[in-house]
């Protein structure tokens, strides 16, 4: 196990972009976990300073339209982005993995039915549907997680299915069938371990999309208004007129954090793909 991890890191660390992505993600995870201890002010406390105060020695990123400390809001906002991003991508990848496994292995009518459903989900416009569903079921962070997970499985299903189609005819699968192994045993004991790397890479890759999508919903007012998030900070900056008044510090920091964290997960996903895909390493 230690040798495998050592080999993985050896290949992973060859890419400076991948290492940079890992460092960015770790930094934000630390910030989210340590938020109660490193925030200089209570993020929900208003009028701790004059509204729309520019960055200064007491408030490094200034204050918003109701006098809240921007830096404290940024630190606590990282929790929502990481929670939604990781959980939503995990739920979507789990659904896609199960569908891809059964579709690719059993084939036939089941495969045709599941792939046609997948095609429907792929062509449905994500943002309008997400906004409509959020208004129906209510703006809750957990609803956002379930929504993104439910709508985010088709890509994973396609990828997993293509892997299973090539693996199910492999000699070790034929040998398992020959000794009487059942379908469920073959799927979860022999096929699933072969695609675990693809599953992990999919979770990492989908996280950046979920982070940006949550920020977009929050900016449009379709996310939970009681939970501090970067998208909600940008929405308040826009609706309060802070941007028009030249208070760039109310919108640039959350926008930068969304971009940086999304890039971090994208770079990390690239590094994992680099290790798992020998053809990519050759290029």
Model confidence pLDDT, tens digit, residues 216-225: 888 888 888 8
User: Quick check: is 198 in a domain?
Assistant: yes
User: Quick check: is 148 in a domain?
Assistant: yes
User: Quick check: is 5 in a domain?
Assistant: no
User: Quick check: is 6 in a domain?
Assistant: no
What whole-number distance in Å separates Cα of residue 111 and Cα of residue 117?
10
User: Quick check: is 90 in a domain?
Assistant: yes
Task: Give the domain range for residue 202.
Answer: 15-41+59-282
User: Quick check: is 138 in a domain?
Assistant: yes
CATH code, domain with 234: 1.10.3720.10
* pLDDT tens digits along 9-56: 888 888 899 999 999 999 999 999 999 999 999 998 989 999 999 999
User: Quick check: is 235 in a domain?
Assistant: yes
User: Quick check: is 7 in a domain?
Assistant: no
Residue 51, CA distances (Å) to 35, 60, 63, 76, 255 in order: 23, 14, 6, 19, 20
Torsion angle in degrees (nearest 10) through CA of 242, 210, 266, 278: -170
Structural domains in the chain (count): 1
Supply the pTM of this predicted model. 0.88
């Amino acid at each position: 196990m230690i040798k495998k991890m050592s080999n993985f890191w050896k290949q992973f660390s060859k890419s400076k972009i991948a290492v940079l992505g890992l460092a960015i993600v770790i930094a934000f995870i630390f910030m989210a976990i340590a938020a109660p201890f490193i925030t200089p002010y209570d993020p929900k406390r208003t009028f701790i300073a004059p509204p729309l105060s520019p960055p200064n020695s007491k408030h490094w990123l200034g204050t918003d339209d109701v006098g809240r400390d921007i830096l404290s809001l940024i630190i606590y906002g990282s929790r929502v982005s990481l929670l939604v991003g990781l959980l939503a991508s995990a739920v979507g990848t789990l659904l896609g993995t199960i569908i891809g496994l059964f579709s690719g292995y059993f084939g036939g009518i089941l495969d045709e039915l599941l792939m046609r459903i997948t095609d429907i989900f792929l062509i449905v416009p994500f943002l309008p549907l997400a906004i409509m569903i959020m208004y129906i079921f209510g703006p809750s962070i957990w609803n956002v997680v379930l929504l993104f997970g439910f709508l985010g499985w088709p890509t994973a299903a396609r990828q997993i299915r293509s892997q299973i189609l090539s693996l199910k005819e492999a000699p070790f699968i034929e040998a398992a069938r020959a000794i009487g192994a059942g379908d469920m045993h073959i799927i979860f004991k022999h096929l699933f371990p072969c695609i675990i790397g693809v599953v992990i890479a999919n979770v990492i890759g989908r996280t950046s999309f979920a982070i940006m999508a949550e920020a977009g919903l929050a900016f449009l007012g379709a996310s939970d208004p009681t939970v501090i998030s970067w998208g909600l900070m940008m929405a308040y900056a826009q609706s309060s007129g802070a941007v028009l008044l030249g208070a760039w510090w109310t919108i640039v920091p959350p926008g930068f954090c969304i971009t940086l964290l999304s890039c971090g997960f994208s770079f990390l996903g690239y590094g994992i793909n680099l290790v798992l895909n020998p053809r990519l390493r050759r290029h």
